[in-house]
Structure 1
Amino acid sequence: MAEANLLDSRLRLVFEAGVDDDGKPIFKAKTFNNIKKTAGANELYEAAQAISALCNYSLDSIERSDNYDIVG
């Protein structure tokens, strides 16, 4: 039976940094590596909110990326 081992997690915050000449939003992202593997959605959400409070742009989305090693 195959097994998936979590290698690492990343947290990506996407900010709306304004609008372009056509009125479309401009997005900027910041990625944080080596996120604690056991961190839950609520913990990541609270961390993202705390970080966004220190930024000049409004927070648009919060994304988590997990990388797994699948062995058989």
Structure 2
Amino acid sequence: MAVVKMPQSGKLVIKVQTGVNAAGSPVYRLRTFANIKPDAADSDIFAVAEGLISLQKYALVDIVRQDLNNLVSQ
């Protein structure tokens, strides 16, 4: 039985450091943007993330693309 991956949608997640807590450990927040087209190129998503980061007052930690797929048997 063959299993095929069917792309559905995705998310862009930008992780920023918003400060430090009382113990001196960094505090992070996630900025999530849903409904990313599954056929969008990684370079295009990265360019959009860079534009969004320029609007943030916090320091960038990470850029993540999360893809959602259905697995179907054929």
TM-score for the superposition, normalised by structure 1:
0.92
Could you tell me which residue of structure 1 aligns to residue 69 of structure 2? 68
Deviations 1:17-69 (A, max 9, x none): 01111111000111100112122222121111110101111111011111111
Residue 26 in structure 1 maps to residue 27 in structure 2: yes
Is 1:56 the counterpart of 2:53? The answer is: no
Amino acid at match of 1:21: A
Q: Which runs of 5+ in 2 are unaligned?
A: none
Q: Which residue of 1 aligns with 2:40?
A: 39
Q: Which runs of 5+ in 1 are unaligned?
A: none
SS of 2:35's partner is coil
Provide the residue aligned with 2:4 in structure 1.
3
* Backbone CA RMSD of aligned residues: 0.9
Supply the distance in 2 between the matched residues of 1:61 and 1:29 (Cα, whole angstroms): 9
| Residue identity matched to 1:58 | A
CA distance in structure 2 between the partners assigned to 1:48 and 1:65 by the alignment: 13
Aligned length: 72
User: Which has the larger share of strand?
Assistant: 2
